[in-house]
Structure 1
Amino acid sequence: MTFERKDSAIRIKGKVVEGLREAGLFTQIPWVRRQFMEKLSIDPYPGTLNLEITDPESLQLFKDLKATPGIEILPEDPLFCSARCYPVLIHGKLKGAIVYPLVESYPENKMELIAPQNIKEVLLVATGDILEVEVMKGEKGE
């Protein structure tokens, strides 16, 4: 996956928080993994890293981002919802993607990140730490 850094890149900060521990199973469902690999060039590490966005500027940037089409993950099972994904560079070091489930009740300040490796281990971050994600432009972040 090729990422291009731009001066006008969207940068969003959030605090690492614990999730519901459901994404580990979701990211390993064959049709989900296949779409992440085909559409984002990411074979996801099981699970997501959750960020809580609290600062007003980052929250507005995140809302604006979610209003754009993104890269769609379409469910092959009616029990699942669609999602929009956005390629990102996590903390300036790790390529990944935001996964935003298209569920009406989904918290507006919650961001879920996938990457090919365990984000916490690679970036040496823990719950409560602040991370910055930089949204990459173009299909697959190219």
Structure 2
Amino acid sequence: MDYNLYNTIKILKKLSGSGNTVYISSGELAEELGVSQQTSSRFIIELADKKYIERTLQNRKQKITLLEPSLDLLYSELNQLNSILEMRQEFNLKGEIQSGLGEGKYYISQEGYMAQFLDKLGISPYPGTLNIKIFPEYENVLRRIRSADGIHIGGFKDKERTFGGVKCFSGRIDGTGAWLIFPERSNYTDIVEIISDKFLRKDLKLQDGDELNIRVALDH
């Protein structure tokens, strides 16, 4: 991404504080960026066209909201800096167990995935996923994890359809090893899917509605 656009995203995030929305005029933004008002307007228009922000005019100011691609970009940069500085990256996620739609078993059981899970993760997963709805107060932690590289599991094709790639992150639940998996090129969701070589619901005596703490490592 162009540095000027990236810097504009950073400034907008700084001004928005703990939220993702800021009310600002082109002149005020120009002053923050150290550029002309015309240039700041051009940056905003370009970011809106590329779906990094959403903007509406309100009186003499603009309401600018940072969209998912902007947040992913910022958290990705944060992860890269931590990696460069060799800072250990471990996080806690908390959420509530929910039943899925039963699709996890179908996808996890595909040979194209199973072979890569064994090769790259060192496990033959139980056929199914444990689904956790992450609590809102852990949303930024989840964004940071999702924006990291993880371990890549490549997509593939069979005779009937195409299966997309996923990325995986090592985790632990009550001392039991597990992997968080995220489909690539998917929209943001607060539902996390977890795989393990164990039947987690049975082994850990889990049921829908239980609160769960997951320790996640970005370093492998």
Partner residue, 1:73: 153
Distance in 2 separating the partners of 1:61 and 1:137? 12
What SS does the aligned partner of 2:118 have?
Answer: helix
Is residue 102 of structure 1 aligned with residue 184 of structure 2? yes
Alignment partner of 1:93 out of 175, 179, 187: 175
Q: Structure with the greater relative contact order (CA < 8 A, sep ≥ 6): 1 or 2?
A: 1
**Superposed, which structure 2 residues align to 1:14-93 within 5 Å?**
14-56=95-137, 58-77=138-157, 79-90=162-173, 92-93=174-175
Deviations 1:50-103 (A, max 9, x none): 0001232x211011111110011111216111111001011x221010010124
CA shift, 1:137, in A, is 4.4
Which structure carries more helix by proportion?
2
* CA gap 1:86/1:8 in 2 versus in 1, 3 angstroms: closer
Q: 8 Å contact 1:82–1:101 — kept in the other structure?
A: yes
Name the larger-Rg structure.
2
Q: 8 Å contact 2:89–2:217 — kept in the other structure?
A: no
What SS does the aligned partner of 1:35 have?
Answer: helix
- TM-score, structure 2 length as denominator? 0.56
Structure 1 residue ranges, 4+ long, deviating more than 4 angstroms after superposition: none
* CA gap 1:80/1:8 in 2 versus in 1, 3 angstroms: closer
Is residue 114 of structure 1 aligned with residue 162 of structure 2? no
Q: 8 Å contact 1:42–1:96 — kept in the other structure?
A: no
Structure 1 vs Structure 2: percent identity of aligned residues?
A: 25
CA shift, 1:41, in A, is 1.1
Distance in 2 separating the partners of 1:17 and 1:103? 23
CA shift, 1:138, in A, is 2.8
What SS does the aligned partner of 1:23 have?
Answer: helix
Deviations 1:19-59 (A, max 9, x none): 01011021111120111111111210000000001232x21
**What one-letter code is carried by the residue in structure 2 that aligns with 1:31?**
G
Task: Report how many residues are paired.
Answer: 130
User: What are structure 1's unaligned runs of at least 5 residues?
Assistant: 1-6
User: What are structure 2's unaligned runs of at least 5 residues?
Assistant: 1-87
Distance in 1 separating the partners of 2:176 and 2:106? 22
